Every structure is written in structure tokens, then in C-alpha cells.
Structure 1
Amino acid sequence: MIITRSPLRISLGGGGTDLPSYYREHTGFLLAAAIDRHVHIVINRSILPEMILKYAQTERVTDVEQIQHPLVREAMKLVGTPAEGLEVAAMADIPAGTGLGSSGSFCTALLRGLHALHNGNPSAAEIAEQACHIEIDRLKEPVGKQDQFIAAVGGVTCFRFNPDGHVEYWPLRASSDTLRRLEHNLVLYFTGYTRSASEVLREQDTKTKAADSSMIDNLHFIKDLGYKSKDALEGGDLRGFAELMNVHWRSKKKRSGNMSNSRIDEWYELGIKSGGLGGKLIGAGGGGFLMFYTEDAEQLTAAMSRAGLQHVPFRFDFEGTRVVSGGTPSPALRPAIRRAA
């Protein structure tokens, strides 16, 4: 039995510039953090002449092409894993559709497990590239590369998305004290709304491909905020970073009328009035989690709880996608990288 896990993530600045429709022309940049809320994959060899796949649904198939879950089907085809005699189960600490990058976490955890099943040990970058290839190239989803890369590498990390598809990444160069205070003062509250990231991102993707000037200008501005957020954190200016969160959220809402709704706007204003120095909705928009930076988490959490929002505590995850149990991967059997074009 092989058990793997991948962290979910929060975006700290520059989100949305990781889509190919933007970075292929303009280069993207963002800052993200992996958190200790995970997607877990369990893979077990079975004597049955079929595959049993358990997630929100249960599938029993005898051939990979019969698998209905698109990420599982394409991951198994890419790695070359036959369906017969396998049990695969997926579990998550937080439901999908909540803006924390669950599909990227799911795909990287699954790929790590399938490679371990074949005694393979790809690097974190290879796992991320393969996950991007599955979602962007094979499944044609209008998503970016942030979720797959931050899940695979972990940490509080800067990413540059180059026009040729190559992704550069490096740890945020902030002091340990700044990272400790950032972790302590960032708080997440679940709005109760779930949504498909692909549906929300499709409008951005379509407008960017059409060279819509307002969308391109908005993403340029968001990318600049990503660099400013990096500089603020590396300089230890946490209050400055908090204000940039507010600017980011106001700018992000201009991308689409589906980015927010009246209740999310009310909760955001409540958070700012109740001790939040900065805040925004995490992920593509339309639902999921509100994140605030605060120096009075107790007061803020009390106010948000009275409004019906659930507080979800977290810490940063610096391990990335990893095998938790089982498997003895061999670097000598590392597969080739499938780079997203």
C-alpha cells in the first residue's frame, strides 16, 4: 500500500498571471504558500481483476479508458499504469471547489503515488510539469500552473512563468520571524460557497486570448502587486502586505461580475471592520475562503463566527507532495519530463 499527500495552497499575490493565455505573451509572476491541509491518495494492489476507484463516487473498471474521473484516467495513461488489480482512494481535509487548489493537489499526489508504484521518483518540478500537462494540455482546462507547482514544491514560494512554459521558482527570502508572524496572523474563513475554478477562469482566459485591453491591463497590475507583496514580506512590512491584499481584492473583482457576490462583499467589509488589516477571496473567485491578515485574530474570528463563517486554522507546509507510507522509489527509474507547451 502506498499513501501520498499534497498540500493545499493560499495565494499571496499575483494570482491569475499563471495561465498560459497570459504568461505566453507577458510572463507571469506570483507568490503562494502551501498549507498543512492536504489531499491524500491511497493506492493498494488487489487480487481482483478490476480497478476500484473511490472519491466522491465509486468506480469499478477493467480498463483505464473506462475511468470517468478525468485526472485519474489521464494520470494513469501518462505513467502507464494498468487498471487491473488496483484500488485507489482519494480523501481531502477540505472539499474541492473552495479555492485552495485542490485539483492540482489531487493530481500531484496521484502522480507521486503512481510513480512510486513503478519504483519511480520524479523530482518535484517533474511531478508539477506532468500535472500541468494533464490539466492544461490533455484536458484543455482553462487553468494555470500555480496549484500544481506549489503543491509539488511546498513552502512560501515565488514563481515566474516564462513564455516558453518553463517555470522558475525560489523560496521567499523573508526572515524566520516574518514568516512566523505571517503564518500566525493570516486567517481563513469558509464562506460556504463552492464553485468550479474552470468556470470562473474561463472568462479571464477567453478575454486574455482575445487581447482584451482591460483584462490584460488588470493582469499586469495584479502581477505588479505580486512583486510588491514579495518585496513587502522580504522587507518585513507585514502591514504593507496587508494593504496590498485589499488593493488586490478590489482589482481582482474588476475581472468578472462572477468574482464575488453581495454576501461575500458584506463578509469582507465585516472582516475589515472587525480587525482585519487586509483581506481577499482565495482562488479563482466566486466562493471558497476569505483570507484576512489581522493582529487580533480572536476578535476577528468571533465576528466572522457570529456571521456564520467557519474558521479553518492552518500552518505552512514546507514538504510539498510526498510519499507518506509505502514504496521505495528509485531515482534511477526517473521518468522523462512531460512539459506543458
Structure 2
Amino acid sequence: MIVRSRAPLRLGLAGGGTDVSPFSEQHGGYVMNVTIDKFAYTTIDESPSGKVEFHALDAQESLALDPEQVTLGAGATQLMRGVYLRVCDQLLGGRRPTIRIRAHSDAPPGSGLGSSSTMVVSLVTAFAEYFNLPFGEYEIAQLAYDIERKDLALSGGKQDQYAAAFGGFNFMEFYADDRVVVNPLRIKEWVWSELEASLVLYFTGVSRSSAKIIDEQSRNVREGRSESLSAMHRLKQEAVQMKEAVLRGDLNQLARVMQSGWEAKKLSASSITNSGIDELEKLAFANGAKAAKVSGAGGGGFMMFLCDPADRVKLVRSLAGAGGTVYDTHFTSNGASSWKIG
């Protein structure tokens, strides 16, 4: 039997960072995001070698281990090993089957599209299909969060796991004790189409470690730094404003909220922007952009721009000349999915 799965990557529209501890526990976090047609993929089948095989296809890194040799640790196969150990030890009663796991993503780690967390959701979804585990979206997202943040101790928030599990446009609420409420939004077709036509997604070519940025942001909250805390509360309220703008189809307000959110985001941690990002932002605004922001924690990866669709060609040409890559992007309405072959 062969099982495959895929989970969609996401764009953070507003509120990103308020889903990160300790802010979400102390104040509650609101995030507005949408999934796109870029995915993390997993294939699981019986191991032909009689060992447990982990293949990180993007990194061209593989491991073949006896079941009792599988441990947590760094490296390109880290996420796969983390999921394998948690599922086997918690859900399979300690049984460690000899399976082969192969995975890859449409976006590199550090891209700002939630690629690492989306990969964990894809892996958990594939394991649930392979071992007939009765998981819904909330269970998949929470298990993925526990594996990545608790078992592997990788810094980050919660929105990526829930976006990948649920898919579509969502307004999310994050509270203490891992309480999460996902509110799927019904977007009018013309708003969906106009927003797609207005969006330009640009890869700067620079991947970055989101953990360092998130650690700085969390430290600022723990230490009660007023500028950072004020920025976080502003980001939280802008998620509400973004939800209203999307539901009402007010694209001008949406652009204003996105830009305001980006300015607030810069105040939450010093490493969120840099001179290269600032120059790209200036270039974009000189060529038709109405709003700009870095997707994810900041520091590099993908940038998002909003423009009048009639200015899209001019904006794309200007960005293409800056050394990065413009991606054709569409929104998706579905979250993680899995299927059997044979």
C-alpha cells in the first residue's frame, strides 16, 4: 500500500506573531491568513530495505535505520523522525513499523510561507491515513504543533499548522492552554478573484531562520517592552480589520491594513526588516504597489505586494529586475488531504 498526502502553504495577511507564546497565552492572539497552491508532499509505503527510511527529497538527504535507532535530532530528516517517533510511541503503543517516508515541498525552509509546519501537517496527515488514525483538522494541527514546538523544540507560533490543516481563508483565535478557534470565512467570488489579481508574491532569494526573529519577539513580550507590546496589540486588532475588509470586499481598506500591519510588525523585533527589504519596498511603491509586507516572521523569504491589477505587469517587471523571483499564485479552499494507492 502507498499513501500520499499534501498540505497547502499559507500567506499571513494580518496578525502574524500574535499566535506566538507568551503573547497568545497572556493576551490572546488573532491571525488572518489564506492558503495558496503551493504544497508540502509526503509519501509513505513499506520499506524495501527492512529498515525505517527517511528521505528528505529537497535536501537530497536520506537515512535508513533500524527502528530502535530512530531518535530526535537535527538535520533535513528531523521533522520526519519527530513525527515517526510521536506517532509510534503515543498512538501505536510503541510499535515501530519499518516504513519508507519520502517528503518534499514547493517552498524552501525559511521562506516565510510556513513550510516547516506545513510539512509536519503533511506528514501527520499521511501517517493518519496509513495507520487509520481518526483525526480531524483540529487534532492534526494540534499534534503537528506538539511535535514541532514541544518534541523538537523549534520556535514558532500556531497559525501555520492550523492553516495547513483547514485551508482557505481563516480568521484564527489563539488562547492559553492550547485553545484555538478557527473561523473559516465565506469569501465572495469577485473578492477572491480581485485579491488574486492584485497580489504579487516575490521570493527575495534569501531564506532566513525564523526562530531567531521569533525568539527576539518573544523575549520582548516577556520583558514587557512597551514598544513591542504595543505593536503586538496593534497587529492583533489589524487582524480583525483585515477580516472585515475581506468579507466586505473593501480592497482599499485591505491594502491599508496590510501596510499598517507591516509597519507595526517591524516594531515587534529589530531583525524583521533590513536594508534589502526596505529597498525592495521602495522599488515596489515606485512601480504601483499599494501595500507590501514580508510573509512570515520577517528577515527575508517571500514578500507580498498588493497593487491595482492594471499595474501588475509594471510591478512584476520591476521586481523581476531586482534579482528575486515572482511566483504565480492562486488561493486554495481545501486543507491537508491524503489518499491511498493500491
The two structures have a TM-score, normalised by structure 1, of 0.91
Distance in 2 of aligned mates of 1:191 and 1:210: 32
What's the counterpart of residue 43 of structure 1?
44
Q: Which residue of 2 aligns with 1:313?
A: 328
- Alignment partner of 2:153: what SS? coil
Q: Deviation per CA, 1:251-270, whole angstroms, max 9, x where unpaired?
A: 21122221121111111111
1: distance between equivalents of 2:197 and 2:169? 14
CA distance in structure 1 between the aligned counterparts of 2:273 and 2:285, rounded to whole angstroms:
16
Query: Match of 1:21?
Result: 22
1:235 to 2:248 alignment? yes
Mean CA deviation greater in 141-150 or 244-253: 244-253
Please say if residues 59 and 67 of structure 1, whose CA atoms lie closer than 8 Å, have aligned partners that are also in contact. no
2:285 is the alignment partner of 1:262: no
Q: Percent identity?
A: 31
Instruction: Please tell me the residue identity of whatever aligns with 1:65.
Output: V
Partner Cα separation in structure 2 for residue 167 and residue 256 of structure 1: 25
Distance 1:124 1:87 in 2: 24
Q: CA deviation at 1:297?
A: 1.2
For 2:192, give the aligned amino acid.
L
Give the equivalent residue in structure 2 for 1:331: none
| Larger displacement relative to structure 2 (16-25 or 165-174) | 165-174
Matched, 1:62 2:63: no
Q: For 1:78, which of 66, 76, 86 is the aligned residue?
A: 86
Runs of 4+ in 1 over 4 A off after TM superposition: 81-84
1:190-238 CA-partner distances (Å, limit 9, x unpaired):
1011012112111111222233322221100111111111111112110
| Matched ranges for 1:168-317 at <5 A | 168-295=181-308, 296-317=311-332
Q: Point out where structure 1 has 5 or more consecutive residues left out of the alignment.
A: 328-341
Q: Which amino acid aligns with 2:317?
A: A
1:149 corresponds in structure 2 to 162
1:305 & 1:115 partners in 2: Cα distance?
41
Residue 173 (structure 1) shift: 4.0
Q: Secondary structure at the match of 1:318?
A: coil
Shift of 1:72: 2.0
Q: CA deviation at 1:324?
A: 4.1
Query: CA 1:304–1:324 in 2, change beyond 3 Å: closer, same or farther?
Result: farther
TM-score where L is the length of structure 2? 0.91
Q: Is the 8 A contact 1:157 1:171 kept in 2?
A: yes
- CA distance in structure 2 between the aligned counterparts of 1:136 and 1:19, rounded to whole angstroms: 11
* Contact 1:62 1:84 survives alignment (8 Å): no
Deviation larger for 131-140 or 82-91:
82-91
**What are the ranges of 5 or more consecutive residues in structure 2 without an aligned counterpart?**
none
Aligned residues: 327
- Letter paired with 2:66: T
Matched position secondary structure for 1:157: strand
Which AA in structure 2 matches 1:301? V
Contact 1:8 1:151 in 2 (8 A): yes
Spell out, residue by residue over 1:32-77, the C-alpha distance to the aligned partner (whole angstroms, 9 max, x if none).
0011100101111124221221112111111263364332222122
- Measured after TM superposition, the shift of residue 325 of structure 1 is 4.1
Which of 128, 135, 149 is equivalent to 1:136? 149
Whole-Å separation in 2 of the counterparts to 1:268 and 1:58: 39
CA contact (8 A) 1:246 1:280 kept: yes
- CA offset at residue 312 of structure 1? 0.6
Q: Deviations over 1:265-294 (max 9, x none)?
A: 111111111111111111101110110111
Question: Once structures 1 and 2 are overlaid, which stretch shifts more, 314-323 or 60-69?
Answer: 60-69
Structure 1 residue 86 displacement after superposition: 1.4
Contact 1:61–1:83 under 8 Å retained in 2: no
Does the 8 A contact of 1:31 with 1:226 survive in 2? yes
Partner of 1:32: 33
**In 2, Cα distance between the equivalents of 1:90 and 1:281?**
26
Q: What amino acid does structure 2 have at the position aligned with 1:156?
A: F
